[in-house]
Amino acid sequence: QTGAVLQLCSVRGAQGWHLPSVLISSVSALLEADLGQHCRGGGANISHVTDRTLLSHAALYQGVYSQILLELPALAGHDQSFRAALQFLTLFFLAPELHPKKDSVFTSMFHSVRRVLADPEIPVRVTQDIEPHLGALFTQMLEVGTTEDLRQVMQCILQGLDVSNMWKADVQAVVSAITLLRLLLNCPLSGEKASLLWRACPQIVTALTLLNREACQEQPVSLTVVGPVLDVLAALLRQGEEAIGNPHHVSLAFSILLTVPLDHLKPPEYGSIFLRLHNVLFSILQCHPKVMLKAIPSFLNSFNRLVFSVMREGRQKDKGSTDDLPTVLKCARLVERMYSHIAARAEDFTVFSPFMVAQYVLEVQKVTLYPAVKRLLQEGIYLILDLCVEPDVQFLRASLQPGMRDIFKELYNDYLKYHKAKHEGEKRYTA
């Protein structure tokens, strides 16, 4: 009876009519009940359903499926309807008996999702909100889909990442391809499917490098491309050395970091880009230990850009408000945290520690920092001073220029008084 009522309700009305969310939810509930009641041995065998009840509602399910594919971009702005539509598509995908004989359901659903991501009418905020729901559908599709289906997805992603799209000013094609790649990286792939993705990683990293370079040459910088590039690069690097085994392709990540400008940005933009740059660096440090053995100078070049930009943004200004200070403080905390991660890898970084201190002193003498910013940066550099042995300290005292020598003397005295003495006291207390 429920099926008959829904069949009547699903008859299309006038032009411009859309499936109501309550109808989509009701049809989804009916389909879920049909699948759950009649699958053999539980959900794992859901694709083996051969029940006449399911097939008796086939026209209803197929009609709603076709309508949802058409309407999915229009539904993206209506959270409840969109989630209901994705829930229905997920269930429909798991019932091959309902699939049209002519067209591949995987291909049809995938192109419908692409239309959503490539629609310039859908605001960025809405795309970010619906991304987790698209991810759940995408995960299910790739779990059940074939290797050939994944190859089709990879081909579309690589086409979208082609730098020629930037030349044609088709930014939406680039951003939608990056979003698809991010969804793909969140899917648990194994076996041949995982190998297919990992084999494409070098090509992907190269494409991201070219896209980023092109976006950074635009005036103003195309942050709508740079931000997503950094996000997906960090996600890719977090896959570890299994995904990106060639050190050259990790070194391309450093070139991306050095290309992204950090000046002339509004405070919210600065905070957003800074966090993303930090995430890429942290992903390299944590997930690529073999590369780090030879890439520490490149790593420190990229990290020092972050340190120096915080000093620039955190300097006391003659006039103006301190409205931007919370953003700078967040970035300064990230710098302090990165210093702590570096200090935890003492065996790799000890030899570089005096040079890190020297560069810090060189830059900090140029500005007068807000006390809160200065305190966070000093807490970080104290951890690097922990790595310096007495000959390093003597080297710094002898080699620094007179003005810098005074700054270092003050810094080192504060280090002994506030940091080293405190930690030695804690050690004695623990003992």
326-378: pLDDT as tens digits: 999 999 999 999 999 999 998 899 999 999 999 999 999 999 999 999 999 99
Residue pair 396/357 in contact (Cβ under 8 Å)? The answer is yes
pLDDT-derived band at 303 (thresholds 50, 70, 90) equals very high
Greater pLDDT, 141 or 58: 141
> Environment class of residue 379 by beta-carbon count within 10 Å: exposed (0-12), middle (13-18) or buried (19+)?
middle
Q: Within 10 Å of residue 213's Cβ, how many Cβ atoms? A: 15
Examine the pLDDT at 142 and tell me if it is beyond 60.
Answer: yes
**Helices and strands per DSSP (H, E), number in the chain:** 22, 0
Inter-axis angle of helices 223-237 and 191-217, nearest 10: 150
* C-alpha to C-alpha distances, 378 to 76, 146, 341, 343, nearest whole angstrom: 47, 54, 15, 14
Where are the chain's structural domains?
Answer: 1-10+20-26+54-120, 289-314+323-431
Overall average pLDDT of the 318-331 stretch: 81
Residue pair 207/155 in contact (Cβ under 8 Å)? The answer is no
pLDDT-derived band at 192 (thresholds 50, 70, 90) equals very high
Residue pair 212/259 in contact (Cβ under 8 Å)? The answer is yes
In this prediction, residue 50 carries a pLDDT of 45
78: left (phi over 0), alpha (psi -120 to 50) or beta: beta
pLDDT in tens, 234-277: 999 999 888 887 888 888 999 999 999 998 889 999 999 999 99
In this prediction, residue 44 carries a pLDDT of 43
Residue pair 216/261 in contact (Cβ under 8 Å)? The answer is yes
DSSP letter for each residue of 146-168:
-HHHHHHHHHHHHHHT-THHHHT
Phi/psi of residue 114, nearest 5 degrees? -60, -40
Examine the pLDDT at 175 and tell me if it is beyond 80.
Answer: yes
CA–CA gap between residue 314 and residue 325 (Å, rounded): 7
Examine the pLDDT at 81 and tell me if it is beyond 50.
Answer: yes
Examine the pLDDT at 46 and tell me if it is beyond 50.
Answer: no
pLDDT-derived band at 13 (thresholds 50, 70, 90) equals very low
In this prediction, residue 52 carries a pLDDT of 58
CA–CA gap between residue 426 and residue 418 (Å, rounded): 12
Examine the pLDDT at 424 and tell me if it is beyond 70.
Answer: no
In this prediction, residue 115 carries a pLDDT of 92
What percentage of the chain exceeds 90 in pLDDT? 58
Examine the pLDDT at 96 and tell me if it is beyond 60.
Answer: yes
Overall average pLDDT of the 63-71 stretch: 90
pLDDT in tens, 197-233: 999 998 999 999 999 999 999 888 889 999 999 999 9
